Amino acid sequence: MALWGGRFEKGVDQFTQEFGASLEVDKNMAQQDIAGSRAHARMLAEQGVISAADQRAIDAGLARIAGEVADGTFPWDVNDEDVHMAVESRLTAEIGQPGARLHTGRSRNDQVATDVRLLAKDLCRQLLAGNVALRRVLVDAAEKYLGVVMPGYTHLQHAQPVLLSHHLLAYYWMLTRDFTRLLAAYDAADANPLGAAALAGTTYPLDRQRTTELLGFDHPIPNSLDAVSDRDYLLDLEYACSVGMMHLSRLCEEIVLWSSTEFGFITLSDSYSTGSSIMPQKKNPDFAELTRGKTGRVYGDLMALLTTMKGLPLAYNKDLQECKEGPLDAARTLSDCMEIVAGMVETWTVHDDVMLAQARTGFTAATDVADYLAKKGMPFREAHRVVGELVLYCEQHGKGLEDLTVAEFRAASPLFEADIAQDLDPAGIANARNTYGGTGSAAVRVQLGEAQASLASDEARVPAAR
Ligand code: ARG
């Protein structure tokens, strides 16, 4: 029911009313709306704007309504334009006059801004928890697969052998940066617009510090116009989700490749695979593909809101009603995808023999063979050429570097001796790279320790629920 009946001679038709409504999406922030109203009423009573008795009636009524929303018995009415009206009409229907006093010194403009900020904080909190849960899975996997050697790639061509743990930890660090971005989005949302009223503040003696405290915001927003019209924090959230999805899509792309017949590095658990309706042999990595695919819609959510916000004059404009679906979709998508990826990694089977065999192919020892010569005094550029010629020789003779005899090596350079064999073993090659951040097992152990420490500290930084 419209709350502005006084000024109007007739209402809008049903289609137009539904076009203008945001009730469906607003249902996602009903609890936030109720929390905002309870804080507002309490502050109003403390400031002597409404009576203590009215405040008690409002608070009890809103607590009941919160229960109805939670257990699904709240009577949503499509004729309510948004959640603010739905809750307020229900309250007034239930408790009468005191309910009609709730909206004193408040506008739906600061109300919706408050609700969406509370919602954004809740979404960030959930995403931060999901982020550390997935990072825990990656760290555990890195620990579990410490002995596994695989080919490392550049240009998707075999480059140098690396440890699977090192590869997985690369994703761990990407996700660690995602945590920082999500936490920044949380901090951006953590400011209180309530009390800005429609746009200019209000003549009632509102205590904005008090509602800030009651709602667990960090500080009140210092400018009422900015308070009702800012949605930057949602862009921050959507950007954080976009980068998070981009990272997951990269990992999922590798999962798709690795589970293919050509790679054969991993087998996904049946619980994370699907079959084909026609090809009986098929086992498809649908969930990795879907995660990769859903990245697009999250980018879309970000672009949609950036575009909606562009050129909006101060202060509130109805365009802002469009700001909620995108962040909800982006957050839900990232949250679901993080859970799916965690499940895939936890349950996959790693074929370490295939990874190791592949790590031998494609002349992945070539750099180390060149380094062998350089360490014996040959300038590296020259060593690079000598080994390049050796690779060509191997290709022409259908051999790998490890198939060459010492005589063949020595024909390329007299600096080669029998100990060159040690530099052809993929595990030896990977494990020799122990500069900080390298793939050698000693360096990876150091890295793993740092990852575990950063994870423990981030787990403690996930904000507690309201
Ligand atoms: N349903 C509106 C929204 O979501 C609430 C604010 C409406 N304010 C207004 N002046 N029409 O943005």
Half-sphere exposure of 205 (CA within 13 A, CB side): 6
Check pLDDT > 60 for residue 235: yes
In sequence order, the 6+-apart residues with CB closer than 8 A to the CB of 160 are: 151, 152, 364, 367, 368, 429, 430
296-319 per-position pLDDT tens digit: 999 999 999 999 999 999 999 999
The values of phi and psi at residue 220, to 5°, are -75, 145
pLDDT for 279? 84
Average pLDDT estimate for 202-217: 98
Tell me the average pLDDT of the chain. Answer: 96
Ligand 1 atom with the smallest distance to the CA of 22 is: 1
pLDDT for 275? 87
Round to whole Å and give the CA distance between 91 and 65: 8
Check pLDDT > 90 for residue 9: no
The one catalytic residue in 155, 271, 277, 457 is: 155
Given pLDDT bands bounded at 50, 70 and 90, which one contains residue 334? very high
Nearest CA to ligand 1 atom 4: 321
Round to the nearest angstrom and report the end-to-end CA distance of the chain.
31
41-99 per-position pLDDT tens digit: 999 999 999 999 999 999 999 999 999 999 999 999 999 999 999 999 999 999 999 99
**Is residue 397 annotated as part of the catalytic site, yes or no?**
no
The Å distance, Cα 412 to ligand 1 centre, comes to 78
Check pLDDT > 60 for residue 1: no
445 assigned to some structural domain: no
111 lines ligand 1 (CB under 6 A): no
The Å distance, Cα 320 to ligand 1 centre, comes to 8
42 lines ligand 1 (CB under 6 A): no
Check pLDDT > 90 for residue 262: yes
Average pLDDT estimate for 197-225: 98
29 lines ligand 1 (CB under 6 A): no
The Å distance, Cα 108 to ligand 1 centre, comes to 6
Looking at the structure, do residues 246 and 156 belong to the same domain, yes or no? yes
The Å distance, Cα 112 to ligand 1 centre, comes to 7
Nearest CA to ligand 1 atom 2: 321
Amino acid identity of residue 59, one-letter, is D
Check pLDDT > 90 for residue 340: yes
Average pLDDT estimate for 329-336: 98
Average pLDDT estimate for 313-336: 98
Average pLDDT estimate for 238-252: 98
The Å distance, Cα 72 to ligand 1 centre, comes to 24
Nearest to 180 by CA among 229, 223, 92, 239: 239
Average pLDDT estimate for 382-387: 97
The CATH number of the domain holding residue 276 is 1.20.200.10
Looking at the structure, do residues 281 and 388 belong to the same domain, yes or no? no
3 assigned to some structural domain: no
Mutate-to-test residue for ligand 1 from 33, 107, 108, 328, highest number of ligand atoms within 8 A of CB: 108
Round to whole Å and give the CA distance between 150 and 362: 12
Nearest CA to ligand 1 atom 11: 318
In sequence order, the 6+-apart residues with CB closer than 8 A to the CB of 226 are: none
Given pLDDT bands bounded at 50, 70 and 90, which one contains residue 466? confident
**Domain range for 381:** 365-425
- Token pair belonging to 58: 């409002």
The Å distance, Cα 334 to ligand 1 centre, comes to 27
Looking at the structure, do residues 298 and 176 belong to the same domain, yes or no? yes
pLDDT for 90? 98
The one catalytic residue in 260, 269, 276, 397 is: 276
350-370 per-position pLDDT tens digit: 999 999 999 999 999 999 999
Looking at the structure, do residues 222 and 310 belong to the same domain, yes or no? yes
Please identify, among 75, 104, 133, the residue that sits at the C-terminal boundary of a domain: 104
The Å distance, Cα 120 to ligand 1 centre, comes to 17
Round to whole Å and give the CA distance between 54 and 32: 21
Looking at the structure, do residues 198 and 311 belong to the same domain, yes or no? yes
Q: Which residue has the higher pLDDT, 128 or 281?
A: 128
Share of the chain above pLDDT 90, in %: 94
Please identify, among 66, 82, 104, the residue that sits at the C-terminal boundary of a domain: 104
Check pLDDT > 80 for residue 218: yes
Please identify, among 104, 129, 157, the residue that sits at the C-terminal boundary of a domain: 104
Looking at the structure, do residues 335 and 405 belong to the same domain, yes or no? no
- Token pair belonging to 65: 């309504």
Looking at the structure, do residues 77 and 183 belong to the same domain, yes or no? no
DSSP state of 78: T
The CATH number of the domain holding residue 36 is 1.10.275.10
Mutate-to-test residue for ligand 1 from 87, 321, 324, 328, highest number of ligand atoms within 8 A of CB: 321
DSSP state of 349: E
* Class of residue 354 by CB neighbours under 10 A (exposed 0-12, middle 13-18, buried 19+): middle
Given pLDDT bands bounded at 50, 70 and 90, which one contains residue 240? very high
- Token pair belonging to 246: 């981009």
The Å distance, Cα 345 to ligand 1 centre, comes to 43
18 assigned to some structural domain: yes
pLDDT for 361? 93
437 assigned to some structural domain: no
pLDDT for 93? 97
**Is residue 155 annotated as part of the catalytic site, yes or no?**
yes
Round to whole Å and give the CA distance between 394 and 366: 11
Mutate-to-test residue for ligand 1 from 318, 319, 323, 328, highest number of ligand atoms within 8 A of CB: 318
109 lines ligand 1 (CB under 6 A): yes
436 assigned to some structural domain: no
Check pLDDT > 90 for residue 280: no
Looking at the structure, do residues 86 and 114 belong to the same domain, yes or no? no
Round to whole Å and give the CA distance between 152 and 159: 5
Round to whole Å and give the CA distance between 144 and 447: 14
440 assigned to some structural domain: no
Given pLDDT bands bounded at 50, 70 and 90, which one contains residue 405? very high
Looking at the structure, do residues 264 and 335 belong to the same domain, yes or no? yes
466 assigned to some structural domain: no
Average pLDDT estimate for 422-440: 95
Looking at the structure, do residues 162 and 32 belong to the same domain, yes or no? no
321 lines ligand 1 (CB under 6 A): yes
pLDDT for 163? 98
328 lines ligand 1 (CB under 6 A): no
Mutate-to-test residue for ligand 1 from 80, 82, 229, 317, highest number of ligand atoms within 8 A of CB: 82
In sequence order, the 6+-apart residues with CB closer than 8 A to the CB of 285 are: 252, 255, 256, 259, 268, 272, 273
64 assigned to some structural domain: yes
The CATH number of the domain holding residue 377 is 1.10.40.30
178 lines ligand 1 (CB under 6 A): no
Looking at the structure, do residues 119 and 267 belong to the same domain, yes or no? yes
Count of domains for the chain: 3
Range with lowest mean pLDDT among 6-20, 30-44, 124-138, 177-191:
6-20
Looking at the structure, do residues 190 and 309 belong to the same domain, yes or no? yes
The values of phi and psi at residue 453, to 5°, are -65, -40
Round to whole Å and give the CA distance between 209 and 151: 58
Average pLDDT estimate for 249-254: 98
197 lines ligand 1 (CB under 6 A): no
pLDDT for 200? 98
85 lines ligand 1 (CB under 6 A): no
Find out whether 11 and 2 touch, Cβ atoms under 8 Å. Answer: yes
Check pLDDT > 90 for residue 277: no
DSSP state of 80: S
Residue 461 CA: distances (Å) to CA of 134, 180, 182, 228: 16, 10, 11, 29
Check pLDDT > 70 for residue 192: yes
Half-sphere exposure of 309 (CA within 13 A, CB side): 16
Amino acid identity of residue 163, one-letter, is L
The alpha helices in 259-324, defined as continuous H runs, are 286-309
pTM, whole model, 2 decimals?
0.95
